[in-house]
Structure 1
């Protein structure tokens, strides 16, 4: 297959880069240029924006002439002339006269940048290609596309800084920008109470919901719009003022402050065409520095130096060769290897599955595997969970050629319901998007166009329901700022911020952590009782809303810390307590009285499910040992003891049983993962840091609780991969064993390392000069002795007296004698 990549020498043919700040008419110019050609295609960064541009092109060329192609939606007339696509969904095998790529500065984005880089370097129109984006791209575009024609366009209106204002004092026709769903909802609720209502725009909204929300803003039904940075990508709204309610966002890898160019991209949405706009700060955002204000007002930002790149000339001869080709490094200046993306992570997981490897033989099978790995994780779940869905799809496709329509129908039917609140509906729409994507693959389903229509109907129904919930002004449905008014001489307002601060009339009265309220001792005075009453009223609906979010949360939202607390997005919601068996712990909810009845039961069920899955994922081998019905007699007894010992059983404790254990029993135990060492019976797969840390925690629960001395230190040392470390005499030996270590003199030695040490000593002792054939092993000596070697001390990570104490604990006696080891 010929390479798709263009050499630098031909990249500039027919290419014009139109660069400049927002509100320069770049996208409008691209649309005008496209419709002037017989055929054309434009790639856009967002599905929402693609929908908007599609409508504009339809108005100019007619519905029969325009196709819309996104990952989840296809509108394809019989003979389209123009194609409006998301950048990822741009057809690769379609030759057209005109091609435009919008928002090319996203080529520097860590997640999606490599796709934009590929399109701007390699996707060309027969007659004309237009690259549209920020002026910061000029140096790197000129470097990577030698000879490119660059046109810069000035902003059509002025953009001015308006300073800091409270959210409740922002002028009409303002858009308030936050960077999380929770913050958006909190601000929208605050504006609803003070100003009568706000529209909400999130990148995750379906086009139908987003359009309905925008309509209530554009029509003047509400004067305020609360949005994420999705509005920074070309959505054209009648906004006079942009207010930043925060200056940090989570970019998929870390929480970080926006860079000046990102601030400029969003602020530029104020003041469209010839109408000037303003921007400023509000809410929790700190005031802007003067340098940042000047950069935004004058559109002067640091140029982009490097673009994210991933090889697109893929080798589909085998899975291994596909992975190798994906790992190819760029050879041109200005390009950097992109981080491992979602599709590649899925591929790496699937490549470890023996069943997948057996089926993925030959180019067509490997191409299909890569196609399946491209399924986006709309649900934002753990990589392994997403890979499980991809595995199911691939196996069904490879075994049957296409997906079974009854199975596909059942997946959609389970989501075809409009009950539930905003978070529930949003989660349901995310799942429907997955099945919409599946329906839009050309050969995954019989009659794909029919199923695309079915999936779209379900999404539209859910989208309408979500719009209704959003338009109801967030009454008792928000997950942040929730106020209740008391009428005692004055109107008192209470709110719970997104950080858990409980405020009444702006006064801090306590904190809500998880489901527990802790009063602030500094809050007091004559009004303290009224303030606390207002706070508690606010907490009732907030706790209920949090419960709903916990029930819907993915597994990655929960973390079990060493102190025994189960945290949901950092907030403690339950404490680990001992069960009847060490590997069957339970959870005790940390809740206020406001969480009761069905909501409490649902939260408890969700957390218990997570805990069971967590224990099974890390210590499932112990459950197999305990439930091994195929074992009988001595073998079953040993397996049960190994499980009770959390996967590390001292051999001396079962010495008599081991003597009587036959070969058949040994083989059966080996099949269950047990390894027979000189000092221990253990399960090697459970010696990784995460299983051992959990095992130590469960042991501590049964022998003193999470406050047991040394638990944190031992868990940290075990996670560091240390083969041995000094012993703390105050820490019980059982805790060391549960963490995968054995106390040997002054050191705690990891049990598998101890067995490897025994493997080095054993041949050295067995060697007999003149009788044993071959070269003497390292450390060999006369009679029944051995000499300590560098390999032994290096393996254990200590020497001298510490190493000697390990040997003494194992029963060896140190003897010094003159002369060579072997005489």
Structure 2
């Protein structure tokens, strides 16, 4: 028999409680399983009973729909007769029968649900006799249903997690590259600082091979080495070479050599030699997975791994894991690199052959104006510029049309220029979250661009101000930190996602990516799953559209910045159009380029490149690949014109150049 719930220890005893107990006994409520309780600022009834269903006896103790009688303050004002009348009204046979029927229906419902899901109903049914004090029966039923749904979700999640783990084992990742596994591969590591000739040595070996592929971190480098290989003569004829990047294909009939960005590696076509450039990118947070795939999957008998010495331990670990023989060659810089004795301090102390380094587009353009106002002509290089523009600007510096190059750390990778001195305006760079001091490895890579072999006897490095000069000196003295020899990043492929979908029935891209990161089997952590935050954020939005997993996966990888509103808007428009099976064409944009400012033309160029990237993967819905490339080149030319115009305008305002230092050290 249910007893009235006692007051908490800290509460004062209500002398009227005894009167209520007497009243309940007089009305015969106890004998009917009904009790009167006070708690949580309420006076309420609880009905006790037992449901018999499918051979089970399920006790309950619940508050009926009209079970809350009053607040204690109001209840105290009722005399015994008023209380008795209210109790009699709320505890009639109809109220008891109604609650019992509701409890019986709920028990039957829950038993059926548990049977369907093969779950034990006992933990859920026990809650019927152990409820929060003043919670009505309907709310109790809803809360138990919610607990049941969560339990089902947890069980399904655990089941799917186990199935996902069984579907993908990252220890077997190298075996997924069938052609590379068949070939007797060997690795040759050419490791050294900038200006050590390592890339030149690897490209020479590639050019002599009967077939091969060059894998670059940037479109710009792929384009440069594509043209370099084209200049090679074989049997009196130029070498047949193709260019393959995410946004462009220049396919030469009968070509046995390919210059490619690393993400575009063809893992199915065997070649004699592969060159993987900037191998230290294995440790890159967002793109390292592409280098992991290249090392594991490059289908070449000889694979050159070219990059910084700090990659040695990582390369040795990978070679051992892949059971490939490895030769390591450590190269030294061909010319000395030295710090200037003091900081530059003033703009007028800049000179021809300098490269002025800043870390944002805004700062680069500011320094361009400062330098040109002193009478020196400028070439401009920063990451937002297309490869064509960067190359054109670098060529102006090489040809002597520009006295100084002003750029970001984009000059640190590729872009061989006759730089005599690197001048750092700062050593602090925004990392996407905060501003922080650049790592020593990046400082060395930037500084190493000074003193090109065969042009300068030595390379010089300076800070613009005293603090930057001091920090650069310290950074260049730091011992390189070796890359980790495990935890190599692996990005999901469409095949991975299809495996997870087949095992779990899941079709939402965000959930598939999450399962890839958290649920696949990573036995020893040597290979580790990795996706970018951008891809995951895009996936969540794409899941709101009627798209296949394959379509969503492609759209999640489009190389377009979500931080630029116009580009993000265009990407969303493409995705929405694809969900409606609508073809996206390019048309009248060409006439608008001449009316745009520099920032707008840069963004337009990136937009056309992104469209071209999509066009190669979804040509039925994005059919204008060639037009996109043409428009991208026209936009690049316009950017180059605007930069030159900006330079010329500033120089017209400058004092006579003859009064300035215009000498190479």
Q: TM-score range by the shorter chain?
A: 0.5 to 0.7
How far apart are residue 474 of structure 1 and its match?
4.3
Who is 2:616 aligned against? Answer: 440
Q: Secondary structure at 1:156's aligned position in 2?
A: coil
Alignment pair present for 1:454 and 2:627: yes
Q: Deviations 1:474-529 (Å, cap 9, x if unpaired)? A: 47799xxx9999xxxxxxxxxxxxxxxxxxxxxxxxxxxxxxxxxxxxxxxxxxxx
Distance in 2 separating the partners of 1:253 and 1:106: 21
Who is 1:86 aligned against? Answer: 261
Contact 2:267–2:298 (CA under 8 A) maintained in structure 1: no
Distance in 1 separating the partners of 2:405 and 2:251: 33
Q: Deviations 1:221-273 (Å, cap 9, x if unpaired)? A: 22100011011112211111111111011233332111111100110011122
Who is 2:244 aligned against? Answer: 69
Distance in 1 separating the partners of 2:265 and 2:516: 22
Who is 1:340 aligned against? Answer: 532
Distance in 2 separating the partners of 1:181 and 1:68: 29
How far apart are residue 183 of structure 1 and its match?
0.8
Distance in 1 separating the partners of 2:458 and 2:319: 35
Who is 2:434 aligned against? Answer: 254
Compared CA separation, residues 71 and 118, structure 1 to 2 (3 A): same
> Which ranges in structure 1 are unaligned for 5 or more consecutive residues?
361-365, 486-823
Who is 1:324 aligned against? Answer: 515
Distance in 1 separating the partners of 2:468 and 2:280: 26
Contact 1:432–1:459 (CA under 8 A) maintained in structure 2: yes
Alignment pair present for 1:134 and 2:326: no
Q: Deviations 1:546-579 (Å, cap 9, x if unpaired)? A: xxxxxxxxxxxxxxxxxxxxxxxxxxxxxxxxxx
Compared CA separation, residues 119 and 331, structure 1 to 2 (3 A): farther
Contact 1:50–1:84 (CA under 8 A) maintained in structure 2: yes
Alignment pair present for 1:393 and 2:574: yes
Who is 1:219 aligned against? Answer: 399
Compared CA separation, residues 396 and 280, structure 1 to 2 (3 A): same
Equivalent runs, 1:346-425 vs 2, <5 Å? 346-351=538-543, 353=544, 355-356=545-546, 359-360=547-548, 366-378=549-561, 380-381=563-564, 389-390=570-571, 392-394=573-575, 396-397=577-578, 400=581, 404=583, 407-410=584-587, 413=589, 416-425=592-601
Structure 1 counterpart of 2:489, from 309, 316, 331: 309
Q: Deviations 1:613-634 (Å, cap 9, x if unpaired)? A: xxxxxxxxxxxxxxxxxxxxxx
Distance in 2 separating the partners of 1:429 and 1:290: 35
Q: Secondary structure at 1:409's aligned position in 2?
A: coil
Q: Deviations 1:2-43 (Å, cap 9, x if unpaired)? A: 998316997994112211111111111221111222221111
Who is 2:373 aligned against? Answer: 193
Contact 1:429–1:462 (CA under 8 A) maintained in structure 2: yes
Contact 1:309–1:337 (CA under 8 A) maintained in structure 2: yes
Contact 2:612–2:629 (CA under 8 A) maintained in structure 1: yes
Equivalent runs, 1:140-289 vs 2, <5 Å? 140-146=314-320, 148-162=326-340, 163-166=342-345, 167-274=347-454, 275-282=457-464, 286-289=468-471
Distance in 2 separating the partners of 1:290 and 1:231: 17
Q: Secondary structure at 2:247's aligned position in 1?
A: coil
How far apart are residue 290 of structure 1 and its match?
8.1
> Which ranges in structure 2 are unaligned for 5 or more consecutive residues?
1-166, 502-506, 656-665
Distance in 2 separating the partners of 1:294 and 1:68: 36
Compared CA separation, residues 240 and 110, structure 1 to 2 (3 A): same
Q: Secondary structure at 1:418's aligned position in 2?
A: helix
Equivalent runs, 1:470-481 vs 2, <5 Å? 470-474=643-647
How far apart are residue 159 of structure 1 and its match?
0.7
How far apart are residue 148 of structure 1 and its match?
2.9
Distance in 2 separating the partners of 1:294 and 1:286: 12
Distance in 2 separating the partners of 1:159 and 1:208: 30
Between Structure 1 and Structure 2, whose CA radius of gyration is higher? 2
Distance in 2 separating the partners of 1:168 and 1:195: 9
Who is 1:124 aligned against? Answer: 298
Q: Deviations 1:209-228 (Å, cap 9, x if unpaired)? A: 22221222111122100011
Contact 1:173–1:223 (CA under 8 A) maintained in structure 2: yes
How far apart are residue 184 of structure 1 and its match?
0.6
Compared CA separation, residues 104 and 12, structure 1 to 2 (3 A): farther
Contact 2:375–2:654 (CA under 8 A) maintained in structure 1: no
Distance in 1 separating the partners of 2:270 and 2:533: 28
How far apart are residue 466 of structure 1 and its match?
1.5
Alignment pair present for 1:30 and 2:205: no
Contact 2:243–2:251 (CA under 8 A) maintained in structure 1: yes
Distance in 2 separating the partners of 1:244 and 1:290: 8
Equivalent runs, 1:478-497 vs 2, <5 Å? none
Who is 1:59 aligned against? Answer: 231
Which structure shows the higher helix fraction? 2
Contact 2:567–2:603 (CA under 8 A) maintained in structure 1: no
Q: Secondary structure at 2:232's aligned position in 1?
A: helix
Distance in 1 separating the partners of 2:589 and 2:221: 29
How far apart are residue 287 of structure 1 and its match?
2.5
Distance in 2 separating the partners of 1:289 and 1:283: 10
Equivalent runs, 1:728-743 vs 2, <5 Å? none
How far apart are residue 452 of structure 1 and its match?
2.8
Contact 1:349–1:387 (CA under 8 A) maintained in structure 2: no
Distance in 1 separating the partners of 2:637 and 2:533: 32
Q: Secondary structure at 2:209's aligned position in 1?
A: coil
Compared CA separation, residues 207 and 282, structure 1 to 2 (3 A): same
Distance in 2 separating the partners of 1:282 and 1:173: 15
| Residue range with higher mean Cα deviation, 233-242 or 87-96 | 87-96
For these two proteins, the number of residue pairs brought into alignment is 460
Compared CA separation, residues 7 and 453, structure 1 to 2 (3 A): closer
Compared CA separation, residues 56 and 267, structure 1 to 2 (3 A): same
Who is 2:174 aligned against? Answer: 6
Distance in 2 separating the partners of 1:231 and 1:415: 32
Contact 2:491–2:530 (CA under 8 A) maintained in structure 1: no
Structure 2 counterpart of 1:40, from 188, 208, 212: 212
Contact 1:69–1:86 (CA under 8 A) maintained in structure 2: yes
Q: Secondary structure at 1:164's aligned position in 2?
A: coil
How far apart are residue 100 of structure 1 and its match?
1.6
Contact 2:276–2:304 (CA under 8 A) maintained in structure 1: yes
Compared CA separation, residues 409 and 289, structure 1 to 2 (3 A): closer
Contact 1:310–1:326 (CA under 8 A) maintained in structure 2: no
Equivalent runs, 1:789-800 vs 2, <5 Å? none
How far apart are residue 111 of structure 1 and its match?
2.1
Who is 1:49 aligned against? Answer: 221
| Residue range with higher mean Cα deviation, 307-316 or 226-235 | 307-316
Compared CA separation, residues 191 and 155, structure 1 to 2 (3 A): same
Distance in 1 separating the partners of 2:271 and 2:389: 32
Contact 1:346–1:386 (CA under 8 A) maintained in structure 2: no
Contact 2:343–2:464 (CA under 8 A) maintained in structure 1: yes
Equivalent runs, 1:602-617 vs 2, <5 Å? none
**What RMSD over aligned residues (CA atoms) do the two structures have, in Å?**
3.4
